[in-house]
Structure 1
């Protein structure tokens, strides 16, 4: 009888801990509302739009004057909030602090963040890190947070979601993968889940010992690509993370570089941030294919005689370009906290010279590039053009990056050029003055990469 009571008590405590973080966010939202008057005063310029199906086609419109000062004020407010939330978490979880993550060896452990937006080639570039055996790579883990923690659009709530993303990122970089359990739906049982988003895009989650024996009757929505594995064991994944020499993570859900300052300054992390950008005309052309249903307005407007394009659509595009531009300008200014920790990369440069850019990124990260990655790049950048699906990482990269010029109407290209001109000038994307110039391959729309970009 005593053993049964003990098991019941143990099960109760596990369930209590499992839902603790989720409850904390509920408490947090209440506190946020109480402090909303202050937060709204400094963040009412920030906007948030609905997410894309496999990414985020949204923009946080930057506050005037770069918004850095207002963000610092917000950070102070949210620091007080996080202290309260942490106390509640410790109380509900039994008063234990998260375990420190020991390094895997004598060398420095690097933490690489690939920061991008949807349809910029981030999945392809992420494979440069995914294919290296000594790197633990995670593909879009913040997808779960976006689907679980709901913030109303606009103002302080948009900032709140970004801060939640950042704090989850910090825990993931410390190999605390358990942080995801409160956001995965259905909630994992016994640290097992068949619902880890795009598990097959992370080699580290599909290799031994993380790949456990296949279970026939368990449906895994995002299964491993090249082998059959049982449901993901979060404990085994966390242990594998700690054993790897380095950690890399790709996300399209962090929009403003200044939010990452606490991560860069965390003494437990050795952060390297790679911001990936792409010609916004190419991005729109790609999104209209990948997220077709969300761009019906654009398609109708591009047709002759259709109703005018709504201003809020253009404003969303402009806000997206501006948030990317402001982050890049901050990174290129190289403030003290970012010195040696930020690199700006154009997708077009990667497509033209994938191995060269991979070597530059690895050199920046302070990680030795292995023949394993070089071989993958050689095999996966010469694929036939018709073999690449919308989410494929196999590309004839030297041809693929300009394909958009023949799929987007000049009318739409003009809208993008008008809305995103400052960002396009910064990133070296030339404007097309006519439909003929847009489709003329002999006229390059790409300026050479400024030497100052390469760290």
Structure 2
């Protein structure tokens, strides 16, 4: 009797599971039909060849029209698509129709503009912001001096780039190529990348809406639509000038809260931003997605530009550790194989081959040197490009590396700590502690250099070294062994980059 009851219970459980699975399938099919999605869109999009029926597919915050119907089957070449900004508004923002908004070429246009919700109850700040959008200046001559930091993902470039961003004579741009490239696919959109760099070197801010319209649609490439199109400038909060009150009027709420440019700044007036860029001695940018440094030759040949190329290298083992902390499921060996091959190729081009167009323009830096000796490396950087070393940068380094300013570099001029008592916002910012952010640039820089030694297992470290042998030799990084790996007082890199 007991045996029969157990068998009956087992049969009942199996029928319950079967009914549940069937119900789930029916719900998915019904949802798919009602929403006209067809095949679910995940990390890849499969499109029918030309001539297939057209339909509209929603990807992230884009509405993409005139795309071939989504079907099962092998992927084919993506067709170009028309882009429309989706009606959904990001959290923390509202929309308002503003007339006579100035475009970069000086023309006027009525637009639906997003503005921060902090302006809703602050008519004064809102008025300032609308006036800012409607302000027009005559265009200045194109910028003629540029700096580009060529580097790789998780190579310490955010910190290194801040040495330029914090300089009062530099207009800095953060990752302007992110919208037209993918991390580990070279050769895509290379001509478009060159065109964007050509414009940015002259302080011509691209029309990101038109650029997106020309791109094949891939879900990966839609994630920065809010940053680039809606704000008309990619990663504007990472450009120091664009977070100041001229481009980002302060609302009353900012007096009692931390000023967050991501949430408290609206779209940029590209006409004013372009002219601010042209007034600086240099325009600078850092890119992690320029696969072949040789592409810069075409840019240099097409415009009159005095370009300096700063090639930032980091210990592959440190890169691997940093990437794993952000992407624990990443295939680290293949990722590092790709990165190290690209690093080595660009390094040999600049140090060994040194074509005529690159002579006098190229200089390699190592992240480890900047982290351990930030003042010395900053001085070397400024000497190379012809800039002075201002007190404001020394003070920024001291605050963001936990390394005091050397006695020989100390100035008798007032520091940031000596802020007038009536400057309420500045006094408030001094009391706020910086937030921990894996994407930020504030670190105990000496500890970061050694962190991979504590986290990467010995065997995994050896595998990374095996696929990065060439760049380690070029940049002066030393392989580990079982005897020395446990010696945490030892650095596994030469004091200086080897000479070729």
TM-score (structure 1 length as normaliser): 0.63
User: Quick check: 2:205–2:233 contact (8 Å CA) kept in 1?
Assistant: no
1:204 aligns with 2:241: yes
More helix by share: 1
1:260/1:232 CA distance change after superposition, 3 Å: same
Partner residue of 1:443 out of 490, 493, 497: 490
User: Quick check: 1:215–1:229 contact (8 Å CA) kept in 2?
Assistant: no
1:102 aligns with 2:137: no
- Secondary structure of the structure 2 residue equivalent to 1:362: helix
What runs of 5+ residues in structure 1 fail to find an aligned partner? Answer: 1-21, 24-32, 34-98, 217-221, 299-312
Partner residue of 2:452 out of 399, 404, 410: 404
1:232 aligns with 2:251: no
Partner residue of 1:284 out of 320, 324, 333: 320
State the structure with more CA Rg: 2
1:270/1:175 CA distance change after superposition, 3 Å: same
**How far apart, in 2, do the equivalents of 1:210 and 1:263 lie?**
30
Partner residue of 2:179 out of 132, 144, 154: 144
**How far apart, in 2, do the equivalents of 1:265 and 1:361 lie?**
25
Report the counterpart of residue 189 of structure 2 in structure 1.
161
Partner residue of 2:402 out of 369, 372, 382: 382
What runs of 5+ residues in structure 2 fail to find an aligned partner? Answer: 1-63, 66-76, 78-137, 213-221, 254-258, 405-433
- Secondary structure of the structure 1 residue equivalent to 2:149: strand
**How far apart, in 2, do the equivalents of 1:134 and 1:118 lie?**
26
User: Quick check: 1:256–1:324 contact (8 Å CA) kept in 2?
Assistant: no
Q: Deviations over 1:325-375 (max 9, x none)?
A: 111111013322111100100100111110111111111112223221122
Q: Deviations over 1:432-455 (max 9, x none)?
A: 112x532312333111214748xx
**How far apart, in 2, do the equivalents of 1:186 and 1:431 lie?**
38
Residue 101 of structure 1 and its aligned partner are, at CA, apart by: 5.9
Structure 1 stretch displaced more, 394-403 or 112-121: 394-403
- Secondary structure of the structure 2 residue equivalent to 1:437: coil
1:327 aligns with 2:341: no
Question: How many residues of Structure 1 are paired with residues of Structure 2 in the alignment?
Answer: 321
**How far apart, in 1, do the equivalents of 2:164 and 2:364 lie?**
16
Say which structure, 1 or 2, has more relative contact order (CA 8 Å, 6+ apart): 1
More strand by share: 2
**How far apart, in 1, do the equivalents of 2:153 and 2:224 lie?**
27
User: Quick check: 2:139–2:271 contact (8 Å CA) kept in 1?
Assistant: no
Report the counterpart of residue 423 of structure 1 in structure 2.
471
**How far apart, in 2, do the equivalents of 1:366 and 1:144 lie?**
31
1:174 aligns with 2:202: yes
- Secondary structure of the structure 2 residue equivalent to 1:273: strand
Report the counterpart of residue 385 of structure 2 in structure 1.
365
Partner residue of 1:395 out of 425, 433, 443: 443
1:338/1:192 CA distance change after superposition, 3 Å: closer
**How far apart, in 2, do the equivalents of 1:416 and 1:131 lie?**
34
1:121 aligns with 2:175: no
**How far apart, in 1, do the equivalents of 2:389 and 2:300 lie?**
23
| Cα-Cα RMSD | 3.5
1:410/1:370 CA distance change after superposition, 3 Å: same
- Secondary structure of the structure 1 residue equivalent to 2:365: strand
**How far apart, in 1, do the equivalents of 2:305 and 2:234 lie?**
25
Q: Deviations over 1:36-65 (max 9, x none)?
A: xxxxxxxxxxxxxxxxxxxxxxxxxxxxxx
- Secondary structure of the structure 2 residue equivalent to 1:417: helix
1:418/1:431 CA distance change after superposition, 3 Å: same
**How far apart, in 1, do the equivalents of 2:329 and 2:273 lie?**
36
Residue 192 of structure 1 and its aligned partner are, at CA, apart by: 7.8
**How far apart, in 2, do the equivalents of 1:433 and 1:322 lie?**
23
**How far apart, in 1, do the equivalents of 2:202 and 2:260 lie?**
25
1:340 aligns with 2:360: yes
